[in-house]
Structure 1
Amino acid sequence: MPVEVVFTTKIRVKCLGISTGRRLIALSKRDAERLGFKVHDRVEVRASDRSATAIIVTSQKLVSPGEAAVSEELAEDLGLKDGDEVVLRLAGLPESLMYIRKKMRGQRLSRREIYEIVKDVVEHHLTELEIAAFLLAEEFHGMSMEEIEYLTRAMAETGQIVDFDRPVYDKHSIGGVPGNKVSLLIVPIVAASGLLIPKTSSKAITSPSGTANTMSMLAPVEFTAEELKEIALKAGGCIVWGGKLNIAPADDIFIEVEHPLGVDPTSQMLASIMSKKLAVGVDNLVIDIPVGRGTKAETISEGRRLAQMFVDLGKRVGIR
């Protein structure tokens, strides 16, 4: 049975004001040992009538005994401020870990199992190590087209959906070529032709600069979903970073883990691109697949194989 530990008035919340990309709570080593917590343990943190799951870290200098420092994400979720009291309880392991281990053994995952993994990624219930394990399982064992469809839909459904109520067009490159500026030319040309092209782009994964990175040198790329819709309908098109939109939010978490590893599993690349297109209601899509040494498709045959996978996945999710 998990043991619930109530902080006394001597243990204060200390808001760090630091964004870590996940919910973290830092205790002194003495307090962690006294309460029976270890680094990377999951704890349920309660404040008044709100609660969230956070990951334990320890520090000798950041906090003193009797203090608990929290990341910006945890402070915002619980509405915490310096000096607040919280309640900690050791949380159990998320069910999705079983499904990650299942994929690590090379077994197929069901729609519900994949949805649980993606949901826990979005809700920050999984550590970076656990997400890396899932990505590497994809890299080495691959996924069936059915699994990729499930992953695509789960990534779209766990974020915001934008409905333009009219045909939407898009063009997307799978990346891998540093400084590729094709999208910056194509989007205004398509928009000038009278077609709606609200292009969402990711930041670099395996190359030094993605489309969103390049565009950010020329104009702001961080907008809300409402702003995206307003700009696209007014101008006929736009290029924005998908991370700020809460569109397929799991994707940017996956990318943060992929980037230092230098990996981009084919299944994840397909789901990453198509989930964002699904979330903004894309009906017609052109995929740019660079081929050659150093790209993600080093041979013509590999490029054609990828192209067919995009076509097959598009049919499954309703994108031509």
Structure 2
Amino acid sequence: MRSAGLSRRSHAGVRPPAILNARRLGIDTDREHVAYLRSDCALCRSEGFGTRARIELRCGARCLVATLNVVDPALLGEGEIGLSDAAWAALGALPGQPVQLAHPAPLHSFAAVRAKIAGDRLDAAAAAGIVDDICAGRYADIELAAFITACAGKRMNLAESIALTRAMTAAGQQLRWDSPVVVDKHCVGGLPGNRTTLLVVPIVAACGLLIPKTSSRAITSPAGSADVMETLAPVTLDLARMKAVVGREGGCIVWGGSVALSPADDLLIRVERPLGIDSEGLLVASVLSKKIAAGSTHVLIDIPVGPTAKVRSRRAAAALAARLKGVGEACGLAVVALASDGAQPVGRGIGPALEARDVLAVLQGHPAAPDDLRQRALRLAGIVLEMGGKAGAGQGLALAASVLASGVAWTRFQAICAAQGGMRTPPQARCTGVLGAPHGGRIAAIDNGRLARLAMLAGAPGAPAAGIDLHVRLGDEVAAAQPLLTVHAESAGELAYALAYAQSQAQLVTIGRHAPS
């Protein structure tokens, strides 16, 4: 029998397919596809499969490439292959269903990544090949990390940004609207609490412009616009539902990952988040590919500038603005880039539910609503209205202010929430703790990065109710022990951990001492 088997393989010229039975192990690997084989599995020896190897899995008509982990034999039965939750869902497997294993095709596009690491430039063909393989799931997380790092800092020029933007746009679905003008706005980030999108969209939509807003989840921050909106309404809409919402209300605020407008970007963001890298070259391609794919014709980009913001100087802001405009022009998108004040957080809340609370206060016209958030959003909305032709030069701010003050924007926001699946009440954290001023004086500096880290240590954005309430602004006079901020957390342990960090950071909120009289 053995000799006959060898003869059959030799005659066919290929090995017979390796087949094991699927088993869901209930392991959450985010969206990374991971497979598990017993260490004594004959396939590991015969096929040369080892830990971190890439293997191709086929189940019925579905196929994917997964990263292999080798486990103790006690964790799997003989003849079984374990699958992470992401791999199980992607394969559409059933318990015990046969899964065919094979070596994946060579990853030819990674040669361009190696060349980029060595100092070469990405041309259009290389960018397209990399993006296509990323979208097909052929890149392991370590390979994605290598690509992200190769593009970080100042390692990408304008031509590379254009090539990558076009490749990322072409890889996903692209929307077309029955309107000559479709507007959008985006903030490059780095400024906690800057949740103007949830105010700009209803104001602009109420004035008759189309604004199909696809927003990101947090990458290196305690909240993205999608995270904040999700505490108020569903954001995971498919393309048909998104188009229906925009057709009915003129705008939406949905998670971009659910509509696959730039699928490579969502996979890159998943790896950028733990790396803490958000490079300029990838940022431009990420932002503009989604705007172009969403069918936008005009987009406003907010670039906060401050000593502890993502963009630290006016010079750096000007360089980023030039790249955004250059890539936009090459791709047929009109871009206006605005350098704004990034010296301190916007509003009071930092974290999804706390930022949503601030947004609702502004929309509802509460007297105690944070005025800096209100004024910032009105300025941005005014510029968008002028870009879209709904207001003359210099008249957009007044129009935006009237729409907000009249309650029309609040009415439109409620309608958008209803169309997306129903309005929700933001959650409240179970535990809170206060950080007091160590001494009296004037608030001299507030560190955006440290505050963002504090909110994340408290649990944001994974715990939507977690975060910070900031009670002071630059220039405020405070007395000793006066509350500077309140930390919100879901557990006493997280609260204690976050407060310990806050108490160890003298530069979190810097208080200048009064000169002795």
Q: With structure 2 as the length reference, what TM-score do the two structures score? A: 0.58
Give the corresponding residue for 2:256. Answer: 242
Give the corresponding residue for 2:120. Answer: 107
Give the corresponding residue for 1:212. Answer: 226
1:310 aligns to 2:324 (yes or no): yes
1:58 aligns to 2:70 (yes or no): yes
Give the corresponding residue for 2:160. Answer: 147
Give the corresponding residue for 1:47. Answer: 59
**Structure 1 CA distance, aligned partners of 2:205 and 2:172?**
26
Give the corresponding residue for 1:34. Answer: 45
Partner SS, residue 173 of structure 2:
coil
Partner SS, residue 227 of structure 1:
helix
Give the corresponding residue for 1:117. Answer: 130
Contact 2:64/2:137 (8 A) holds in 1: no
Give the corresponding residue for 1:85. Answer: 98
CA shift for structure 1 position 51 = 3.4
AA aligned opposite 1:98:
A
AA aligned opposite 1:297:
V
**Structure 1 CA distance, aligned partners of 2:202 and 2:15?**
57
Counterpart of 1:23 (choices 18, 21, 33) is 33
**Structure 2 CA distance, aligned partners of 1:3 and 1:70?**
26
CA shift for structure 1 position 291 = 0.4
**Structure 1 CA distance, aligned partners of 2:313 and 2:154?**
21
AA aligned opposite 2:313:
T
Partner SS, residue 113 of structure 2:
helix
Give the corresponding residue for 1:177. Answer: 191
Relative CO higher for 1 or 2, CA cutoff 8 Å, sep ≥ 6?
Answer: 1
CA shift for structure 1 position 273 = 0.4
Q: Closer, same or farther in 2 for the Cα pair 1:169/1:94, shift >3 Å?
A: same
Deviations 1:180-206, CA, capped at 9 Å, x for gaps: 111111111111111100111101112
**Structure 1 CA distance, aligned partners of 2:108 and 2:22?**
29
1:203 aligns to 2:217 (yes or no): yes
CA shift for structure 1 position 33 = 3.5
Partner SS, residue 208 of structure 1:
coil
Contact 1:111/1:150 (8 A) holds in 2: yes
AA aligned opposite 2:99:
V
Contact 1:151/1:271 (8 A) holds in 2: yes
Counterparts of 1:234-273 in structure 2 under 5 Å? Answer: 234-273=248-287
1:186 aligns to 2:195 (yes or no): no
Q: Closer, same or farther in 2 for the Cα pair 1:145/1:221, shift >3 Å?
A: same
**Structure 1 CA distance, aligned partners of 2:122 and 2:325?**
22
**Structure 2 CA distance, aligned partners of 1:4 and 1:118?**
32
Deviations 1:78-114, CA, capped at 9 Å, x for gaps: 4421222232222243011111101111100111111
CA shift for structure 1 position 18 = 4.9
Counterpart of 2:22 (choices 13, 30, 42) is 13
Q: Closer, same or farther in 2 for the Cα pair 1:102/1:80, shift >3 Å?
A: same
CA shift for structure 1 position 66 = 2.2
**Structure 1 CA distance, aligned partners of 2:27 and 2:176?**
34
Q: Closer, same or farther in 2 for the Cα pair 1:141/1:100, shift >3 Å?
A: farther
Comparing 50-59 with 114-123, greater Cα deviation is found at 50-59
Contact 1:43/1:55 (8 A) holds in 2: yes
**Structure 1 CA distance, aligned partners of 2:56 and 2:16?**
10
CA RMSD of aligned residues (A): 2.0
Contact 1:44/1:54 (8 A) holds in 2: yes
**Structure 2 CA distance, aligned partners of 1:273 and 1:62?**
43
Structure 1: runs of 5+ lacking an equivalent:
none
CA shift for structure 1 position 74 = 3.6
Deviations 1:242-265, CA, capped at 9 Å, x for gaps: 011111011111111111111111
Deviations 1:262-293, CA, capped at 9 Å, x for gaps: 11110000000000001011001111000002
Comparing 245-254 with 65-74, greater Cα deviation is found at 65-74
**Structure 1 CA distance, aligned partners of 2:276 and 2:92?**
36
Structure of greater Rg: 2
AA aligned opposite 1:188:
P
**Structure 1 CA distance, aligned partners of 2:59 and 2:231?**
41
**Structure 1 CA distance, aligned partners of 2:215 and 2:64?**
30
CA shift for structure 1 position 149 = 1.0
Q: Closer, same or farther in 2 for the Cα pair 1:4/1:84, shift >3 Å?
A: farther
Comparing 292-301 with 24-33, greater Cα deviation is found at 24-33
Deviations 1:8-60, CA, capped at 9 Å, x for gaps: 6xx42213355531332210111154332012222222335553322212222
